Amino acid sequence: MKKITTSSLLAKKQAGEKITALTAYDASFAKLFDSKGVDIILIGDSLGMVLKGEPDTLAVTVEEIAYHTRAVASGVTSTFVIADMPFMSYGTEVDAMHNAARLMAAGASMVKVEGGEWLCSTIQKLTERGVPVCAHLGLTPQSVHVFGGFKVQGRQQAQADKLCTDAQRLEAAGAQLLVLECIPQALAKRVSELLSIPVIGIGAGPDTDGQILVMHDMLGVSANYMPKFSKNYLAQTGDLHTAVETYIEEVKQGVFPGPEHSFVQ
């Protein structure tokens, strides 16, 4: 299998082929997902919740993400690896450069940051220095306390318009991928059509260029609870290999996410 790159991900968007993504945190699952043809593995700061059993992602450290990135990177040959930058690890541009360098050295091919327009200058500098960036808008979990809980974002018109402007500015600053989390499906469709870069959704309906799920959610083993937008593929299929294959197939065919996993408004 050929190595997935930012160019091949872009080509998929341009060809209208759906991109498949999952989180993973260790070499064994990374190897399995890679062998099944998952396009992207994200070492998400969701590890704070699904591995450590914490109530949110805020206590995750750069060391932890680097440790799990090394493990994942050692398990893949083809899949594109993205490392999440934890809470406050990119609060200043100096921190962002330093911490992104650590995650790239650990084996990531891209880093992910949460937030809107305020990140444009950071994204531009990271990209200029050789670090590809995935932006993340909508329900950005590192801001859970600002939002007053894990709530769907972009339901009001002004919020939706701001999200579209942010997305365009992040792309103009150099972001090469965008994750949209927990927003109404019509808004996700609008953003995906506005942008040239691939848009990956989670709880954002079926019209984004690809889908991502937290692996513990799609296997039904999350320590906390199962979000509405996720689907337990292990329960549906009865074995791990078929669960991953079915997830990939359903994303590619546009079967997942269905209306029951999406937010209409």
Q: Does residue 45 touch ligand KIV according to CB under 6 A?
A: yes
Least distance from C-beta 247 to ligand KIV, angstroms?
Answer: 15
CB of 239 to ligand KIV, least distance (A): 24
Between CA 131 and CA 248 the distance in angstroms is 28
- Contact residue for ligand KIV among 133, 173, 212, 219 (CB under 6 A): 212
Element (H, E) at 179: strand 177-181
Per CB under 6 A, does 72 bind ligand KIV?
A: no
- The yes or no reply on residue 246 touching ligand KIV (CB under 6 A) is no
Per DSSP, the residues of 148-172 read: TSS-----SHHHHHHHHHHHHHHHH
181 is catalytic: yes
Q: Binding to ligand KIV by residue 202, rule CB under 6 A?
A: yes
- Positive or negative: CA dihedral 26, 78, 234, 177: positive
Q: Please answer whether residues 22 and 72 qualify as being in contact, where contact means their C-beta atoms are separated by less than 8 angstroms.
A: no
Q: Which of 181, 193, 249, 260 is catalytic?
A: 181
Asked whether position 217 contacts ligand KIV by CB under 6 A, the answer is: no
- Smallest distance from the beta carbon of 238 to ligand KIV, in angstroms? 25
Residues 123-142 that bind ligand KIV (CB under 6 A): none
User: Which span sits near ligand KIV by CB under 6 A: 38-46, 97-105, 164-172, 188-196?
Assistant: 38-46
Q: Smaller CB distance to ligand KIV: residue 64 or 239?
A: 64
> Is residue 42 near ligand KIV by the rule CB under 6 A?
yes
Cis-peptide, bond into residue 257, ω within 30° of zero: yes
Question: 98: how many CB neighbours lie within 10 A of its CB?
Answer: 13
Give me 99's structure tokens: 């911490």
Of all helices (H) and strands (E), which one includes residue 100?
helix 93-105
Distance CA 9, CA 101 (A): 22
Burial label, 24 (beta-carbon count in 10 A; 0-12, 13-18, 19+): buried
The Cα 35–Cα 172 span in angstroms is: 34
34 versus 45: smaller Cβ distance to ligand KIV: 45
The correct pick among 13, 18, 23, 187 for binding ligand KIV (CB under 6 A) is 23
| Stretch near ligand KIV under the rule CB under 6 A, chosen from 30-38, 43-51, 165-173, 223-231 | 43-51
Please select the residue that binds ligand KIV; options are 64, 84, 209, 250, rule is CB under 6 A: 84
Catalytic residues, by residue number, are: 181
Instruction: Summarize as ranges the residues that interact with ligand KIV (CB under 6 A).
Output: 23, 42, 44-46, 84, 179, 181, 202, 212, 214
